[in-house]
């Protein structure tokens, strides 16, 4: 668990060497540990804090953090949409998905590193574009569906509340087929972008239609495999949890702020050690 600062009590920086993650809650975030590992490896005199920002106070908090010397902010649940609204210069991806997870405070620029970070993890798995079944239609799903579509994937989307899946397609304006059954027939990849595992719930996936080569990816991570990954690995499928995305999105934020490349393996290693 992190030391968490309420935003009004955030430590101050004179030299713009401060970074932070904001969220509500934020005590569980692995970002401070991951970014500190990169600062150590690159010899950077930076600090990265976990800062609690309640819903409704994002604008005030970001303006305050800028005034006390913070250079960059990561944004986690539930503030990504608000962070995008605060931004003055959002990039194309964050504008299309209406969510930003990485901010540069001095000029109000914003990017979304969940989307390209997820594509990094598919590269690691050695997966060229193919057919994917996506589960979920929340904020992360918007970013990942857009990135995969732009990366040449053929996408089918299942969501518990089907109307939200239609909203996602309309909002992004991409070619994605909405399905009322979670059927992985002919798919190369299944991505769980729901928070069902948080409630320990199983998703209604027609696992018997999955080919033995399909890869199952869950955005969630925890010390124990999620119910989704347990089921997939029980069927002998290749699986990957959300730690890979956590490191990939964090490294892309770090690169954007510092101009330095190569943080991803350092962050991934730090996460792996913390999970041992």
Residues forming contacts to ligand NDP in the complex (CB under 6 A) are 77, 114, 136-141, 159-161, 164, 193-196, 198-199, 201, 203, 219-221, 242, 245-246, 249
Closest chain position to ligand NDP (CB): 138
Task: Catalytic residue, from 71, 80, 98, 272: name it.
Answer: 80
Query: Could you tell me the smallest distance in angstroms from the CB atom of residue 200 to ligand NDP?
Result: 9
Least distance (Å) between residue 243 CB and ligand NDP: 7
**Cα-flanking dihedrals φ and ψ of residue 66, to 5°?**
-60, -45
87 or 253: whose CB is closer to ligand NDP?
253
Catalytic status, residue 80: yes
The nearer residue to ligand NDP, 32 or 242, going by C-beta atoms, is: 242
Q: How far is the CB of 253 from ligand NDP (least distance, A)?
A: 11
Label residue 186 left, alpha or beta by phi (over 0 means left) and psi (-120 to 50 means alpha): left
What would the two tokens of residue 142 be?
């918007």
Asked if residue 113 lies in contact with residue 95, where contact means CB atoms within 8 angstroms, the answer is no
Q: What are all long-range contacts of 258-266, with beta carbons under 8 Å and residues at least 24 apart? A: 258/42, 258/44, 260/42, 263/38, 263/41, 263/42, 264/120, 266/37, 266/38, 266/41
Closest approach of ligand NDP to the CB of residue 44, in Å: 22
Residue 161 or 208: the one with the smaller Cβ distance to ligand NDP is 161
- Compare residues 66 and 96 and give the one whose CB is closer to ligand NDP: 96
Q: Which two tokens stand for residue 236?
A: 């002998």
Beta-carbon contacts of residue 33 (< 8 Å; ≥ 6 apart): 2, 270, 271, 274
Please give the positions annotated as active site. Answer: 80
């Amino acid at each position: 668990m992190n030391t968490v600062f309420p935003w009004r009590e955030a430590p101050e920086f004179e030299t713009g060497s401060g970074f932070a993650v904001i969220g509500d809650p934020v005590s569980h975030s692995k970002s401070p540990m991951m970014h500190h590992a990169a600062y150590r490896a690159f010899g950077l005199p930076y600090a990265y804090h976990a800062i609690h920002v309640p819903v409704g106070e994002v604008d005030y908090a970001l303006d305050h953090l800028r005034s006390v010397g913070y250079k960059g902010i990561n944004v986690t649940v539930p503030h990504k949409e608000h962070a995008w609204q605060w931004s003055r210069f959002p990039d194309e991806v964050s504008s299309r998905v209406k969510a930003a997870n990485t901010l540069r405070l001095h000029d109000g620029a914003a990017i979304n590193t969940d989307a390209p970070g997820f594509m990094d993890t598919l590269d690691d798995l050695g997966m060229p574009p193919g057919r994917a079944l996506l589960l979920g239609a929340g904020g992360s799903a918007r970013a990942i569906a857009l990135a995969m579509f732009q990366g040449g994937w053929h996408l089918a989307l299942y969501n518990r509340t089907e109307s939200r899946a239609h909203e996602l397609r309309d909002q992004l304006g991409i070619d994605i087929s909405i399905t009322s059954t979670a059927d992985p027939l002919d798919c190369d990849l299944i991505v769980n972008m729901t928070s069902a595992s948080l409630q320990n719930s199983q998703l209604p996936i027609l696992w018997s239609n999955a080919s033995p080569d399909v890869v199952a990816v869950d955005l969630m991570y925890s010390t124990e495999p999620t119910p989704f990954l347990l089921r997939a690995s029980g069927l002998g499928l290749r699986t990957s949890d959300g730690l890979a995305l956590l490191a990939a999105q964090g490294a892309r934020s770090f690169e954007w702020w510092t101009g330095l490349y190569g943080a991803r393996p350092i962050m991934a290693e730090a996460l792996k050690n913390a999970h041992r």
